[in-house]
Structure 1
Amino acid sequence: MAQISSLFVTRLYHAPLSDHGPAIDAEEMESSCYAIAEDDEAGQGWCEENGYPGYTSYASLTDLPWRFPIFADLVKSLDAHVAAFAEDLEFDLDGRALELEDLWINILPEGGSHASHIHPHSVISGTTYVSMPGGTSALKLEDPRHAMMMAAPARRKTARDELRQFIYVTPAVGDVLLWESWLRHEVPMNMSEDDRISVSFNYRWA
């Protein structure tokens, strides 16, 4: 009798941020993101020069937990979520923890998108969601084997999630998503009139 197994699994961690660490007030986090964006002239300039829609602090600020206590609380929560995910992945960390490498704000207005990309030199990447208005874009994840499928036919629309070439995940405000940093992902166009706000991050092996 034939035996069919699933090999080389790609894991995606999806949980409420509140499962670990201090509670994060969504309204305070949103206000903090807008306040930082308004004051961050270097970040605004980078976005304009690079054609980035909306605002990101990725290239301008490295000290968000120092600037606002709510980001320090966020990092405490993320540390616990990342540790849980690393345990699920059965990483042999040789007694060293995964530690935060960088943390940044994303404010994506109507019509904005973020092209497909990976996060080199990191181990785990992720995003927590601050504002997800109705109709806003999901996170699109790409099968890492995509480039090697060559002449493979398209999958059926009813294919199981683990067999699809792309997966779309629509998290709620207060959720956190984690994935291994080599997993290619993108944010499709925001079709909502309101801003899509998130905080993204990378963790590295200490």
Structure 2
Amino acid sequence: MSKIESLFVTRLYRAALREFGPAIDTAEMEASCYSIAQDDEAGQTWCEENGYPGYTSYASLTDLPWRFPVFADLVKSLDAHVAAFAEDLEFDLDGKALTLEDLWINILPEGGTHSSHLHPHSVISGTTYVTMPKGASALKLEDPRSARMMAAPVRRKTARRKLQPFIYVEPKVGEVLLWESWLRHEVPINMADDERISVSFNYNWG
């Protein structure tokens, strides 16, 4: 009898932040994000000069946990989630934990997008969601083998989820998503009337 098995699995971690670490008040997190965005003139300038819709602190701030206690609590929670994901991935970390490399705010307005990208030099990347108004963008994940498929026909629209070339994940407020940093991803156009707020991060090793 023939046998078909799935190989080289790509894992996606999804959980509520509250499963690990201190309780995170999303209203407090939202207010903190807006407060930082309002005061961060360097970040505002970078967004304008680089055509970034809305606001991100990616290129301007490296000390969010110092600025507001809610971000310090967030890091404690993320550390535990990342450790759980690393265990699931069966990484041999040689006694060295994965550690936070950077943490940044994203405020995406109506019509804003974040084009396809990956996170070089990191091991685990992810995002937690502060506001997700109705119509807000899902996270779009791309099959990492796409560039090697050459003459392969497209998949049927009804293909099994694990065979789809793109996966759309609709996160909820208070959730965290984690993936390996080589996985290409994007945020399609935000169709919501209100802003979509998230906090993204990278973890490295060694």
Runs of 4+ residues over 6 Å off in structure 1: none
CA deviation after TM superposition for structure 1 residue 158, in Å: 1.2
Q: Distance in 2 between matches of 1:47 and 1:160?
A: 39
Tell me how far 1:177 sits from its aligned partner. 0.2
Where does residue 31 of structure 2 map in the other structure?
Answer: 31
Cα distance in 1 for partners of 2:149, 2:161 equals: 17
What are the equivalent positions in structure 2 for 1:27-66 lying under 5 Å apart? 27-66=27-66
Q: 1 CA distance for matches of 2:18 and 2:158?
A: 33
Residue 163 of structure 2: aligned partner: 163
How many Å apart are 1:160 and its aligned residue?
1.1
Per-residue deviation, 1:157: 1.2
CA shift digits 1:81-130 (9 cap, x unpaired): 00000000000000000000000000000000000000000000000000
Please report how far the alpha carbon of residue 30 of structure 1 lies from its aligned counterpart in structure 2 after TM superposition: 0.2
Residue 156 of structure 1 and its aligned partner are, at CA, apart by 1.1
- Structure 2 unmatched runs, 5+: none
Q: Distance in 1 between matches of 2:18 and 2:156?
A: 36
Are 1:78 and 2:78 matched, yes or no? yes
2: CA distance between counterparts of 1:17 and 1:57? Answer: 21
Q: How do 1:1-206 and structure 2 match up within 5 A?
A: 1-206=1-206
RMSD (Å) for aligned C-alpha atoms: 0.4
Cα distance in 2 for partners of 1:155, 1:137 equals: 23
Q: Following TM superposition, by how much is the alpha carbon of 1:48 offset from its aligned partner in structure 2, in angstroms?
A: 0.2
Shift of 1:58: 0.1
List runs of 5+ in structure 1 lacking aligned partners.
none
Amino acid in the other structure paired with 2:95: G
Identity of aligned residues (%): 81
How far, CA to CA, are the matches of 1:75 and 1:26 in structure 2? 14
TM-score (norm 2): 0.99
